[in-house]
Amino acid sequence: MSAPVVSVVLPVYNGDRFLEESLQSILRQSFTDLELIVINDGSTDGTREILERYCDRDPRLRVWHQENRGLSRSLNVGLELARGRYLARQDADDVSLPERIAKQVAFLDAHPDYCMVGTWSHIIEEQRHSLRFHRHPAENGPLKFNLLFDNFFVHTSVMVRKSALDAVGAYTTAQVRQPEDYELWSRLLRGRLGKMANLPEVLVEYREVEGSICRSDSRSFTDQVMAISRLNLAAFSGREPEDQLVADLSALVHGVFDQVSTRPDFAAIFMLLRRTARGVIGEAEATPMGEVYRLFFALVKGYVRYRLRNLRCLRLDR
């Protein structure tokens, strides 16, 4: 049997509430030359029964059952099993619109200098359709610049060239290097393996569920994101991740003002921003100076508000 063009990796743990809808959204894609690899990560609900029923319906569905090992390890099992030249993600409670895979394949086929492409998404709150969306930067320059600091891809919407993942390795399983998706995109970024894009079209319905890591332990999550951001900034500025300017810039972006220097050097921070933007984009493209100025003035404004708020608190305590 010939290898498919696309391998869709879908890990699931006790996901029987939304699993059928998620499976159907992939198996009913207009682009049919794909395989759907589902990693059942030790589910104890009705997940196995649903998967066994669907295996009888569509030979493109490949299921791997294992004891519970966690998301990152499950994703890596899926990557090892994948045979496609493009690897796509899907979560067990999310939905891909019918043209999603076709449009991403068409984009990567037409743009061999791009290593990955995501899409915009519509946010579902449990079972309620909201008026909220993820509309992240679409073009390579602004997207890479913003990716220096935080994740601007919807994980469940991403399609990546397998050759790019082979070059940088799989998802991290280290707890101190989470979130696993931003950490992997950052390695692709630092590896200079190609341009990146988001299709400026809602092609995924992303479901927010109570109890996710970013909601349950937000400060720890932010600290880990900042650690990855410092590595990104260092890679494109020529400085070390522990450099005070690098640390100040990362802390300012994330609003963690108690980790900022007593007297941050904003002139030097602006120069660092500009140098890093030029480094991450390269000489072939224009530096997104609009993004640089927008972010810099937002950082100054946020820091001034923080200092004024602290000053008012000190006066009230007297």
Q: Distance between CA atoms of 128 and 261, rounded to whole angstroms?
A: 43
- 187 contacts: CB under 8 Å, gap ≥ 6: 168, 169
- pLDDT exceeds 90 at position 56: no
Q: What is the pLDDT of residue 110?
A: 98
CATH topology classification for 6-209? Spore Coat Polysaccharide Biosynthesis Protein SpsA; Chain A (3.90.550)
Residues of the chain with CATH 3.90.550.10: 6-209
Instruction: Over range 74-99, report the average pLDDT.
Output: 97
Instruction: Over range 78-88, report the average pLDDT.
Output: 97
- pLDDT exceeds 50 at position 43: yes
Q: Distance between CA atoms of 144 and 228, rounded to whole angstroms?
A: 14
- pLDDT exceeds 70 at position 314: no
- 269 contacts: CB under 8 Å, gap ≥ 6: 245, 248, 249, 252, 296, 299
Which CA distances in Å does 234 have to 171, 175, 185, 259, 292?
21, 22, 16, 18, 17
- 80 contacts: CB under 8 Å, gap ≥ 6: 170
Instruction: List the one residue out of 39, 11, 7 whose CA is nearest residue 161.
Output: 7
Question: Are 32 and 59 contacting, i.e. CB atoms less than 8 angstroms apart?
Answer: no
Q: What is the pLDDT of residue 177?
A: 87
* pTM of full prediction above 0.85: yes
- pLDDT exceeds 70 at position 155: yes
Q: What is the pLDDT of residue 188?
A: 98
- pLDDT exceeds 60 at position 19: yes
- pLDDT exceeds 70 at position 214: no
Mean pLDDT over each residue of the chain, to the nearest integer: 93
Q: Distance between CA atoms of 55 and 61, rounded to whole angstroms?
A: 6
Q: What is the pLDDT of residue 317?
A: 54
Task: Provide the pLDDT confidence category of residue 176 given band limits of 50, 70 and 90.
Answer: confident
